[in-house]
Amino acid sequence: MLNGDWNRNRFFRIASHILFWSMYLIINVLTAKRFYPEEAFGHMMFRFSFTLPVDMTATYLTAYGLLNWFLLRRRYIAFTLTVLVSAFFFILLQRTIVYYISQPLFFPGVTPTYPFWRISWFYSFTNIYLVVAVVTAAKLLELALRQQNNSLQLDREKIEAELKFLKAQVHPHFLFNTLNNLYALTLDKSEKAPEVVLKLSELLSYMLYECNDPYTLITKEVQLIENYLELERIRYGRHLDLDLTVSGDITGKKIAPMLLLPFVENAFKHGVSKVSRQSFVRILLEVNGNHLEFRVINSKSPAPGPDETDYTEGIGLKNVRRRLDLLYPSQHELIIQPLEIEFKVNLTINLEPAHERQMFIG
């Protein structure tokens, strides 16, 4: 299969070169026919074809040889000198073909008007090197586009690798926090521990089987948050005032998996767990068209503690900030407000790029 593709590509490449030089020859003949209207078109095509190999050799030597050997290696003086030397050679070669082969063959008995060495160097140079310049410029453009594509491909691979690494970090970070909650319940020999294990298994099932795609349905993310909140309800019981509100049409809308949960986790880890009195967490998820707004407000201890800066600089939030930058560049806004007795998180996302970027990172 690969060999067949290579042969097909080689065929098209050769065919395109043949087509190019055929068109070049026809254009040259049509241009010259204005000065030789009495000469037949076929006769001129045959005559001009004698010097065509000179133009072709000069073009391929410059565009595929000197360009790679000198110009692309920034050896500009060497490139200029070799072009001038080769041009001198090709002008003499073209003059030799015209003077000793083409002229006697197509115009027998006609004495050349000018001797061999009376050469119009500028005219001969432009006659040969106009096509050389065009092909070399096209080759440079092709190389520039190829380099740009390679750079874009490297950027894609880098972003994809980074996203996979960040996503891989989400799971152990989340699991670590949940196991800590389970550990606290087992220390108290709570009857709620088996229910926590059941909920944890559901969450792990989601992470193993639903988080492999770049984007997932918001409805599934909401279910994930609800399951997590159930775990926290079991843990804190009546000491926790918990409210989750989902509004707008979320059907069919997609978002990067495990993107919202870290904010909910932080509300408990750095807020509720530090409050000895009655605590609260209020979560609002609203979707209006392609605009998503996610707000989390939770109580916190008014006394400063060691987790004050960790709330905004911990692994979970560093991770989610980076994922937002990669997945929704210039399409999101994240505001975190650590107030005196509560934390406020407000995240807005334009969901439309999610579908456009799926091919980019998928």
130 and 228 share one domain: no
pLDDT of amino acid 347: 95
89 and 164 share one domain: no
134 and 254 share one domain: no
Nearest CA among 236, 330, 231, 218 for reference residue 285:
218
pLDDT of amino acid 185: 67
Instruction: Give residue 324's pLDDT band: very low, low, confident or very high (50, 70, 90).
Output: confident
Strand partners, 296: 283, 345
119 and 237 share one domain: no
pLDDT above 80 for 158: no
146 and 162 share one domain: no
175 and 91 share one domain: no
Per residue in 197-253, pLDDT (tens digit) is 777 777 777 766 666 677 889 998 898 898 888 878 877 777 788 899 999 999 889
143 and 235 share one domain: no
Amino acid in the structure at residue 184: A
164 and 307 share one domain: yes
What number is the average pLDDT over the span 15-27?
93
pLDDT of amino acid 359: 39
More confident residue, 92 or 319: 92
**Look-up: residue for tokens 């996203």?**
163
What number is the average pLDDT over the span 176-185?
68
What number is the average pLDDT over the span 57-85?
93
Domain end, chosen from 151, 186, 216, is at: 151
Q: Is the pTM of this model over 0.85?
A: no
- For residue 51, give both structure tokens: 């010097």
Domain holding 351, by residue range, is 158-361
CATH code where residue 256 lies: 3.30.565.10
Query: What is the rounded distance in angstroms from the CA atom of residue 243 to the CA atom of residue 5?
Result: 60
Domain end, chosen from 151, 176, 202, is at: 151
Q: Identify whether the C-beta of residue 203 lies closer than 8 Å to the C-beta of residue 227.
A: yes
pLDDT of amino acid 297: 92
pLDDT of amino acid 353: 52
Per residue in 107-143, pLDDT (tens digit) is 887 777 778 888 888 888 999 999 999 999 999 998 8
90 and 184 share one domain: no
115 and 178 share one domain: no
What number is the average pLDDT over the span 258-266?
85
What number is the average pLDDT over the span 178-185?
69
Query: What is the rounded distance in angstroms from the CA atom of residue 343 to the CA atom of residue 297?
Result: 6
293 and 182 share one domain: yes
Nearest CA among 212, 305, 316, 187 for reference residue 261:
316
Number of domains, the chain: 2
237 and 291 share one domain: yes
pLDDT above 70 for 362: no
Max mean pLDDT among 33-42, 229-238, 302-311 falls in 33-42
Domain end, chosen from 151, 166, 190, is at: 151
